Structure 1
Amino acid sequence: MWLAFFLSIYILVAFSIIISILMNGARPSKSLAWLLAIFTIPVGGMLLYLLLGRNRRKNKLLKLKERALFNLPQPTFPQKATFDGQYQKLMNLVYHNSHFPPVENNKLTLLKDGKTTFKSIFEALENANHRIHLLYYIFEEGELANKLLLLFERKINEGVQVRMIYDGIGSFSLSKSYLNKLRDIGVEVYPFLPFKFGRFLSSLNYRNHRKIIVVDGVVAFTGGINISDKYLKGDLELGIWHDMHLRLDGVAAGHLDYVFAMDWYLVCKRTVKPLGVGLKKASENLNNDKLVQIVSGGPDDDFPSLEQAYFTIINKANSYIYITNPYVIPGRAILQALETAAIGGVDVRIMVSGNTDNKIVNWSVRSYFESMLKAGIKIYLFPDGFLHSKIIVSDDAIATIGTANLDDRSFEQNYEVNAIVYDSLFAKLLRKDFLKDAKESKLITYEEYLDRSLTEKLKEGLGKIFSPLL
């Protein structure tokens, strides 16, 4: 009797999942893979689908962004730039996806590695007059966290508001003791989709991977660097983590503040009004001449905005496109764009870390090397520590820096944010930095890669199978 009951429940659930896949599947190949998993792996296949496979972009299970936009005050965007020039298509694309136009009056400071980045961050935080907003995927306890705690207490006593969001899984190690200390001194702090058994299957796979700090609505930071001592001291396995961050003084900082405000509403259902004083101050600084556009994306959006932005930048490249990213696991569209550009004569170069923080991810990354090398793409392995930067620079004209990796997880499942900079001097600075790191890195040749061992080929084959889930 009990066996028949459980069998009936199993068949009912399986049938419901199959209907969902047929109606909402993102890609035929992926839908077929999930159908095979459900039919061949009893129970396990269904659990994996519920955890990793649902098309949230289609279903909008929580409709998070729609609710946030409805309840937040609509932002004002001073100094709106004209959508023209060679990147007009990209500007329009980002504006329609993320609602942020390209804006002038921004001063940019490129921050390489942890020491330089945190020096600039703490300097900006010390000068806060009204409020401090922080949003991090990884916020780990240590010297940096303790230093922030003391600074927050001092600034709150001066009348500065401090709000903080941390990802519920990425910052899972954050202790209740530290969080209580933050709340005791007056920091408003909330987790993003924390681990809860009741919604475990619906939320575990969707993380907020953004790294944002905004001070008074006029100074902001974003990039690849999390709050972790490993950016200063390294770790035992990988050594120093190398990364790139960006400081924005100006109007674009207010756009990052709006991204924070949307996420703030998602975690606590409360609104944060834009700081007009900060935006006015920024727009009046005529020495800030950089044109910047913020692109944000998440699984609630109608389209994968970061993937479409990367795709467009690659397709627009005429002379060169240099990419630095630790997780280059491209989907079919991005891979075809890269290979098409290289075969068509564009100098396409990709730099990844020679060391890895995850073996299966590393196998997945390397599983695409043979095809890309055959197309003429140059691939470099950075040898020192762990390379974590997320940068694209092209044609001495455009660059993007932010939190999004070149993989399906960043495009389809994570909440991400990047800054696109339309500026020749900034692009040349990043190109120069790339070429400097390339001289220290190992260039892989196609012939050399063909000679890798059978074991390595099998590992890469296994990694490619799992790449859509990583």
Structure 2
Amino acid sequence: MGLHIAYTLYILIALTLVVSILLHGAKPSKILGWLLAIFTVPVGGILLYLLLGRNRRKNKLILLKKDRFFKFPKPTIAHMAAMRGQFKRIMTLVYRNSHFPPTEGNNLYLLKDGKTTFEAIFKALEAAKSTIHLQYYIFEEGELADTFLDLFVKKIKEGVSVRMIYDGVGSFSLSKKYLAKLQEIGVEVYPFLPFKFGRFFRTLNYRNHRKIIVVDGFIGFTGGINISDKYLKGDETLGKWHDMHLQIIGPAAKHLDYVFVMDWYLVSQKDCTPVKIDRTIEGDANSLVQIVAGGPDDDFASLEQTYFSIINKAKKYIYITNPYIIPGQAILQALQTAALSGVDVRLLISEQVDSKIVGWSVRSYFEALLKSGVKINLFPDGFLHSKIIVSDDAITTIGTANLDDRSFEQNYEVNALIYDEAFAKLLKTDFLNDAHISKSLSYTEFINRPWSDKLKEGFGKLFSALL
């Protein structure tokens, strides 16, 4: 009798989920996959769907009327004038998705690897006068974390407000002792969607992958680098960690601050109006920059649409550096179409991987990419973690988003789009230098790889939408 009741309850739950999938499913392939999982994997299929499968663009993870607590920056005449030229459509797309117009008058500094990045960050923090806002997916204890703590003590004594967000999963190792120290010295600190039993299935798969620091609403940092000593000392398994970060001085940094402000409201339910400080920017501040932010609560996959548009817009070349290139059908088609059309399409991917199954999934797309003429280079020196696209000596993006469904559909991400010829050429040169020391794959060589590798890649591809 008890077994009959349990079976009936299971069928009712499964049918309820089927209705939900049919009403709210985003992609036909995923709809079919989840239907098969629910009916072929007893109990496990339902649990996996509850954990990983629900369409958050239909069923918002966090109900938030953004204009309830602050106004997005209204585009000025100068902003509207900047939305012109060959990238007007991309600028308009980003503005309609993220509400940030392109801004002129920015100084940009390319920060390669940990030492250079943290020297610039600590210099900016030392000079803070009003506010320090920072949020990271991974914030690990160690020498860097201790340096941040010491700086926070000093700046709070000087009257600077310090606010910090850390991801509840990415920074799971952050100890209660360290968090207590932050609170004791006056840092306002909150986790983003921490582990809670009551909402475990609803939130575990949706993480804040952003890396942002904004000082006084005027100096901003974003890119791929987390707070971890491995960026200074390397990793016992993977060796040296290579990554790219960006320092922005100017109006685009204030837009990064708006992204932080939105996340701050989500985690604290507190308003935090971005500071308004007028400063003179040193040097030739002539870079045109646009911030694009995206997450599972947005109506559209803004980062995927941005990447897709940049790839489709390329006329001469498009160079992509990213450790996690697991393209959906749209991005895969765009890369293949560009390569077959004569565009020089090159991917720079780390030969070392921090997850075997992710590495198999990435490699499972190599054959289709190589066959269409996409060039693939495997970087051999440690682990390459940068997330960069540069195209046609004209447009660049640096940020936190990978080329995979997780970044496009499930994570909160942020990138900077740079419409600047000199900056694009700088990143192009850096890409070619790294590609020169990398292993170039050939289609003929790759298709003759061992069958065991093909089997692993097939297994990885099967789970690519869940990674």
* TM-score, shorter chain, exceeding 0.5: yes
- Structure 1: gaps spanning 5 or more residues: none
Q: Does the CA-based 8 Å contact 1:105-1:286 persist in structure 2? A: no
The 5 A counterparts of 1:28-47 are: 28-47=28-47
Inter-partner Cα distance in structure 2 for 1:222 and 1:274: 17
Question: What is the TM-score when the length of structure 2 is the normalising length?
Answer: 0.98
Q: Does the CA-based 8 Å contact 1:131-1:215 persist in structure 2? A: yes
Shift of 1:11: 1.5
Shift of the 275–98 alpha-carbon distance from structure 1 to 2, 3 Å rule, reads: same
- The residue aligned with 1:249 is 249
Inter-partner Cα distance in structure 2 for 1:107 and 1:28: 44
| Structure 2 counterpart SS, 1:155 | helix
The 5 A counterparts of 1:158-173 are: 158-173=158-173
Inter-partner Cα distance in structure 1 for 2:53 and 2:132: 37
- The residue aligned with 2:18 is 18
The 5 A counterparts of 1:144-183 are: 144-183=144-183
Shift of the 74–346 alpha-carbon distance from structure 1 to 2, 3 Å rule, reads: closer
- The residue aligned with 1:335 is 332
Inter-partner Cα distance in structure 2 for 1:228 and 1:171: 10
Shift of 1:53: 0.4
The 5 A counterparts of 1:32-431 are: 32-63=32-63, 66-76=64-74, 79-82=78-81, 83-277=83-277, 280-281=278-279, 287-431=284-428
> In terms of mean alpha carbon deviation, does 300-309 or 78-87 score higher?
78-87
Shift of 1:68: 3.7
Percent of aligned positions with the same letter in both sequences?
67
Q: Deviations over 1:46-97 (max 9, x none)?
A: 000000000001111422xx33442224435554142210011100000000
Matched residue type, 2:176: K
Inter-partner Cα distance in structure 1 for 2:444 and 2:152: 55
> In terms of mean alpha carbon deviation, does 6-15 or 141-150 score higher?
6-15
Q: Deviations over 1:223-277 (max 9, x none)?
A: 0000000000011100111000000000000000000000000000001112121
Inter-partner Cα distance in structure 1 for 2:413 and 2:236: 28
Inter-partner Cα distance in structure 2 for 1:73 and 1:374: 48
| 2:448 counterpart (451, 455, 462) | 451
Q: Does the CA-based 8 Å contact 1:97-1:303 persist in structure 2? A: yes
Inter-partner Cα distance in structure 2 for 1:112 and 1:287: 21
Q: Does the CA-based 8 Å contact 2:317-2:345 persist in structure 1? A: yes
> In terms of mean alpha carbon deviation, does 268-277 or 315-324 score higher?
268-277
Q: Does the CA-based 8 Å contact 2:61-2:203 persist in structure 1? A: no
| Structure 2 counterpart SS, 1:100 | coil
Inter-partner Cα distance in structure 2 for 1:70 and 1:49: 32
Shift of 1:380: 0.3
Question: Is 1:432 the counterpart of 2:429 in the alignment?
Answer: yes
Inter-partner Cα distance in structure 2 for 1:26 and 1:348: 29
| Structure 2 counterpart SS, 1:104 | strand
Q: Does the CA-based 8 Å contact 1:138-1:166 persist in structure 2? A: yes
Q: Does the CA-based 8 Å contact 1:81-1:104 persist in structure 2? A: no
Q: Does the CA-based 8 Å contact 1:69-1:262 persist in structure 2? A: no
Matched residue type, 1:158: E
Matched residue type, 2:140: E
Shift of 1:8: 2.4
Inter-partner Cα distance in structure 2 for 1:59 and 1:138: 27
Shift of 1:451: 1.1
Question: What is the TM-score when the length of structure 1 is the normalising length?
Answer: 0.97
Shift of 1:395: 0.2
Inter-partner Cα distance in structure 2 for 1:18 and 1:317: 41
Shift of 1:5: 2.4
Inter-partner Cα distance in structure 2 for 1:408 and 1:383: 26
Matched residue type, 1:160: V
Shift of 1:208: 0.2
Shift of 1:285: 6.1
- Structure 2: gaps spanning 5 or more residues: none
Q: Does the CA-based 8 Å contact 1:364-1:460 persist in structure 2? A: yes
Shift of 1:6: 1.7
Q: Deviations over 1:409-443 (max 9, x none)?
A: 00000000000000000000000000000111000
Q: Does the CA-based 8 Å contact 1:73-1:273 persist in structure 2? A: no
RMSD: 1.1
| Structure 2 counterpart SS, 1:299 | coil
